[in-house]
Amino acid sequence: MSVYLLTFELSDEDDAERYELLWTELRRKGAQRVLKAAWVVDFDDKPEGVRDHLKGLLSDDDRLFVAALAKGGYTYIHARSGTNDWLVSSRLG
C-alpha cells in the first residue's frame, strides 16, 4: 500500500453531478482533498492500478496525474482543513 497524490484537470469541474461518482469513490477510499484539484489517498496498488481504477469515473477530456509520496518527501502551505491530520495518521506520518 502506498500514499498517492492525485491531481486532476476536469473538463467541466463546475458540473458537480458529473463527478459525483468520482468524489464518492475517493471518499470511500478514505482520500483527503488537499487542494481544489488534488487529493491524497492510501491505495493498495501501483500507480497504474490507481489510474485504471479511477479512469472509468472520468470523461475522455479529463486529465489525471498519479504520483507516489514518500515519508518526508512533501510539504505544503495552506492545504485544506484536515490535511495535516490525514497525513500524520497515514503511513507518511
Torsion of CA 51, 69, 29, 20, to 10 degrees: -60
pLDDT of residue 53: 96
Interval 63-79: pLDDT, tens:
999 999 999 999 999 99
Q: Does domain 2-89 have CATH number 3.30.70.240?
A: yes
Per-residue pLDDT, averaged over 8-33, amounts to: 90
d(CA 68, CA 79): 18
For CA atoms 63, 68, 71, 73, give the dihedral sign. Answer: negative
For CA atoms 63, 68, 74, 78, give the dihedral sign. Answer: positive
Interval 31-46: pLDDT, tens:
999 999 999 999 999 9
pLDDT of residue 84: 93
pTM reported for the whole predicted model: 0.90
Domain assignments of the chain as residue spans, ordered by start: 2-89
The pLDDT of residue 52 is above 80: yes
Best CA proximity match to 45, nearest among 1, 91, 92, 90: 1
